[in-house]
Amino acid sequence: MTQFSTDLPSDLLSDRTAVVAGGTGSVGQVVVEAFLEAGATVVVPSRSEQKLAALQKSLGNAPADRLITLVGDLSDEGDSVRVREAILERAGPLDAAVASLGGFVPAPAVLDAPLSELERVLDGYLLAHFMVAKALIPALEERSGSYTFINGPLAFRPMFPGTGLVSIATAGQAMLARAVMKEKSGGPVRINELVLYTRFGWGSDEDDDGGSVSQADVGAFLAHLASDSGAVVRGETIHLEDLEPLRALRSRTAELLHGG
């Protein structure tokens, strides 16, 4: 498996501040690590103090001194403004945000599921993304920052038995992202949607036979997207099924760093 993450420049995001909403999750942790390795200050809000402690422990060699954690719920209508203000107070103006949110709810068959399960899955994906985008996109305007919705292939087709409810909620999430991207297309914030085909939280990267894009490649892609190399990318849904989008951003980084 080719990994481009190994040549992630350590100053790619220096002097930049990024929020990773869902940074305690399987995908989010990889993103946090990549942003720290690329020199950013990274803020992770979480509903759970224990999950934040586990994130700190799991960071391995990543420089954790630039990680700011805080307890709160950006996806809760009553708490999101407080959490956003606490982030800005602790970290200063924001340059980037990645929303990697979800709560997988298996269901043997969609029409056998109780309404409460559909509500739970809508809450974990669609409503959480709605609230987090409402809270963070305005906070990125000052520095013309970058906001990225993370999604998965289940949004585009039901794939395995048991994943129907998640497909319903993430399809709504995909349309949320597109509506926001269209409405904000002339605004200062670059908003994109990244669809991941790599598997996270199902074993180590080495065990992954889900495709040619490794977990670390995903982190590297998001770091490049948040950097000056990503400045021309806005309003796009990017399917990270192969390494072409990462190659394109890497060559742009090389051009910017070395003039060609």
Question: Nearest to ligand NAP by Cβ — which residue?
Answer: 25
Q: Applying CB under 6 A, which part among 79-87, 89-97, 144-152, 234-242 lies near ligand NAP?
A: 144-152
Cα–Cα dist 54/37, whole Å: 18
User: Interface residues for ligand NAP in 48-107 (CB under 6 A)?
Assistant: 48, 51, 75, 100-103
Stated as kind and residue range, the H or E segment containing 195 is strand 190-196
Q: Which residue in this structure is represented by tokens 């889900």?
A: 210
- Near ligand NAP by CB under 6 A: residue from 47, 66, 82, 143: 47
3-state secondary structure of 172: helix
CB of 250 to ligand NAP, least distance (A): 22
Pick between residue 146 and residue 151 the one whose CB is nearest to ligand NAP: 151
Binding flag, residue 27, ligand NAP (CB under 6 A): yes
CB closer to ligand NAP out of 12 and 174: 174
- Cα separation, 160 vs 182, in Å, equals 31
CB of 102 to ligand NAP, least distance (A): 4
Smallest Cα–Cα separation from 43: which of 101, 103, 93? 93
Count of chain residues binding ligand NAP (CB under 6 A) = 26
What is the H or E stretch that residue 181 is in? helix 164-183
Please report, for the chain, how many H helices and E strands are present, in that order: 8, 7
Assign 3-class secondary structure to 98-122: EECCCCCCCCCCHHHCCHHHHHHHH
Sequence-ordered list of residues with C-beta below 8 angstroms from that of 140, at least 6 positions apart, any chain: 94, 95, 96, 97, 146, 147, 188, 189
Least separation, in Å, of the C-beta of 106 and ligand NAP?
Answer: 13
Rounded least distance, CB 82 to ligand NAP, Å: 15
Contact indicator for 150, 130 with CB cutoff of 8 Å: no
Q: Please report how the helices 80-91 and 128-136 are oriented relative to each other, as an axis angle in degrees rounded to 10.
A: 40
Q: Which is nearer to ligand NAP, 152 or 230 (CB)?
A: 152
The one segment of 2-10, 145-153, 185-193, 249-257 that binds ligand NAP by CB under 6 A? 145-153
CB of 10 to ligand NAP, least distance (A): 25
String marking each residue 198-227 x if it binds ligand NAP according to CB under 6 A: -xxx--------------------------
Q: How far is the CB of 22 from ligand NAP (least distance, A)?
A: 3
18 and 96 Cβ atoms separated by less than 8 Å: yes
Give the binding site for ligand NAP (CB under 6 A).
22, 24-28, 46-48, 51, 75, 100-103, 123-124, 128, 150-152, 170, 196, 199-201
